[in-house]
Amino acid sequence: FQPKVMAGKRILITAGPTFEAIDPVRGITNLSSGKMGYAVARAAREAGAEVTLISGPTALATPFGVQRIDVQSARQMMEAVNAAIDGQHVFIAVAAVADWRVKNPSAQKVKKTGDAAPTLEFEENPDILATIAARTTLAGHPYCVGFAAESENLVAFGAAKRERKGIPLLVGNIGHHTFGADDNTIILFDEHGHTILPRADKLTLARQLISEISKRTNKHSLF
């Protein structure tokens, strides 16, 4: 039984990887499965929230009662988030967004020429979470939660990343093997320090996370 701690709240979530095109049939992506973000969306809905899930390419079914918007690239994800953000109480960025995109994707499939291999140039993608966290208009100023996957020194890096992104709550994943796995161990970083949520399946952790967010947002001005 999940108490409806988020009844009447609107929650926007990003999940999955992004896909950055090289040409019409090739691209650059990462190993994010989307499982954690989808579990967070399911847990938020169970808690009574109206949930919008903006998802990169995944093989997962849409959680019951969740409105899902599919995107591919980081820029499309940014546009979809911008279009949906007004009136949201909470924004949870779980997506593994590509830091860079290919600068000049080819309109046609790149062919082997027998000459040198092609060279890819990159340019930086927008930081969706930092962009939303920096908004100051009331209608578009949700409680922002970020995720961080670090392979070392998570406690020090997590606290620093929370500050750098300008967000009240950052969720750190412990270890290298979280992408695609069903289990996870997470650390919550807030203004008071950090709390470890011991290893559990992603849905259990997602439910705990939603409960933690609800406690913290009771003090948030939009609530």
3-state secondary structure of 132: helix
User: CA angle at residue 58 from 7 to 217, to 5 degrees?
Assistant: 25
Binding mask 128-147 for ligand C5P (x = CB under 6 A): xx----------------xx
Q: Which residues are annotated as a binding site for CTP?
A: 99, 109, 126-129, 147, 161, 165
CB of 14 to ligand C5P, least distance (A): 6
205 contacts: CB under 8 Å, gap ≥ 6:
36, 39, 184, 186, 197
Q: Which is nearer to ligand C5P, 149 or 181 (CB)?
A: 149
Q: Please count the residues of this chain forming the interface with ligand C5P, following the rule CB under 6 A.
A: 14
Which residue from 104, 78, 91 is spatially nearest to 40, judged by alpha carbons?
91
Binding mask 149-188 for ligand C5P (x = CB under 6 A): ----------------------------------------
CA 81/CA 150 separation, integer angstroms? 25
Q: Which residues pair with 195 in a beta bridge?
A: 188
CA 39/CA 25 separation, integer angstroms? 30
Which residue from 207, 171, 202 is spatially nearest to 3, judged by alpha carbons?
207
Q: According to the binding rule CB under 6 A, does residue 125 interact with ligand C5P?
A: yes
Q: Is there a contact between 47 and 34 (Cβ–Cβ < 8 Å)?
A: no
3-state secondary structure of 98: coil
Among this protein's residues, is 104 annotated catalytic?
A: no
The one catalytic residue among 30, 104, 125, 218 = 30
Q: According to the binding rule CB under 6 A, does residue 127 interact with ligand C5P?
A: yes
Q: According to the binding rule CB under 6 A, does residue 93 interact with ligand C5P?
A: yes
Which residue from 168, 170, 167, 173 is spatially nearest to 152, judged by alpha carbons?
173
Q: Which is nearer to ligand C5P, 60 or 110 (CB)?
A: 60
152 contacts: CB under 8 Å, gap ≥ 6:
none
Q: According to the binding rule CB under 6 A, does residue 85 interact with ligand C5P?
A: no
Applying CB under 6 A, which of residues 97, 102, 174, 213 lies at the interface with ligand C5P? 97
Q: Which is nearer to ligand C5P, 115 or 152 (CB)?
A: 152
CB of 148 to ligand C5P, least distance (A): 5
CB of 20 to ligand C5P, least distance (A): 11
Which spans of this chain sit near ligand C5P (rule: CB under 6 A)?
14, 74, 93-95, 97, 125-129, 146-148
Catalytically annotated residues: 30
